Amino acid sequence: MQAKHVELVTAIAEAGSLGAAALRLNKSQPALSKALQAAERDLGCQIFHRGPHGVVPTVEGERVVDRCRLISRDLALLDEDIAQMQGGVHGTLNVVVSPFAAVKILPPVLTRFARRFPSVQVQVVGGHSSRAYQMLRARRADFVIGPAPEPETTVGLRARHLVSTSITIVTGDGSRYLTQTSPEALQQAQWLLIGPRERRATFAAYFEARGMQAPTPILCSDSILTILSMLEGTDLLCSFPTLLVRDVARRWQIATLDLDFDFPEISISLTSELARVPTMAGLAFEDLVIEEAARLVNP
């Protein structure tokens, strides 16, 4: 497949039809159709199913489209990087953060980054676990700041440890579980989970260490605001990064449980794709994150 076909395939996939792609690329539809046939001939497979209402990728075509999108994104990064080296400061950064990173690390980083690169747009989304790392591999994210990836998900990724935090169990400040903290009572309580449902709940270690089955969370959310809104004024329980508790307790009516149990610490990491070469703005952002995390360790 020739390099000139990358833009063609990407445009067709995004436009959904040959006609719309032809308009986007300022080409005639017959010329675009001919170029697509040449790309398919080079690859030895059909990239798109053609239909009266548009096109959809074939099974092989889905892989081709994914590769072309990655190449297109890398070419855009090349343009941004050269412009930044020559004094320009435009570009984009896409960052996925956990609630801990969103509260404790990101705000001062973004303030300092904006002063240095005022025209670089930073898109921040919340996310946890495997979904965040899928975004890295698909080049839809530049960095993930949050719990370190599990060993089985680190292939092709570079995770730099930033800070460790212990875990604290929180509930509403008037919760009946503040005084009733036996394992049996907590097992019957309703729990919330920060992150996706497939993520293993940190509080599970408390019950498993006692040979008990951990309760299933009644709600899972990447949004810390959703979690805190539900905790406030209720008997619901949730495991929270200890370094984050003091910040949220100032604004929300929550309290901590005094449990005789040492939860395993969580490593917060800055993760990126191993094979990807960051732009100058990306390198600067990475340095700022590392500096801010160091301040948490040594205030």
Q: Which domains does the chain have, with CATH numbers?
A: 4-80 (1.10.10.10), 89-163+267-297 (3.40.190.10), 167-264 (3.40.190.10)
Q: Residue 297 has what pLDDT?
A: 82
- Range with the poorest average pLDDT among 29-38, 204-213, 230-239, 251-260: 29-38
Q: Residue 184 has what pLDDT?
A: 92
pTM over 0.85: no
Over residues 122-141, the pLDDT tens digits come to 999 887 666 778 788 777 88
Examine the pLDDT at 5 and tell me if it is beyond 90: no
Q: Residue 77 has what pLDDT?
A: 64
Examine the pLDDT at 48 and tell me if it is beyond 70: yes
Over residues 165-184, the pLDDT tens digits come to 999 999 999 999 998 888 99
- The band of 289, judged by pLDDT with boundaries at 50, 70 and 90, is very high
SS (H, E, C) the chain: CCCHHHHHHHHHHHHCCHHHHHHHHCCCHHHHHHHHHHHHHHHCCCCEEEECCEEEECHHHHHHHHHHHHHHHHHHHHHHHHHHHCCCCCEEEEEEECHHHHHHCHHHHHHHHHHHCCCEEEEEEECCHHHHHHHHHCCCCCEEEEECCCHHHCCCEEEEEEEEECEEEEEECCCHHHCCCCHHHHHCCCEEEECCCCCCCCCHHHHHCCCCCCCCCCEEECCHHHHHHHHCCCCCEEEEEHHHHHHHHCCCCEEECCCCCCCCCEEEEEEEECCCCCCHHHHHHHHHHHHHHHHHHCC
Percent of the chain with pLDDT over 90: 36
Q: Residue 87 has what pLDDT?
A: 55
The per-residue pLDDT of the chain, averaged, comes to 86
Rounded average pLDDT over 218-247 = 91
More confident residue, 190 or 62: 190
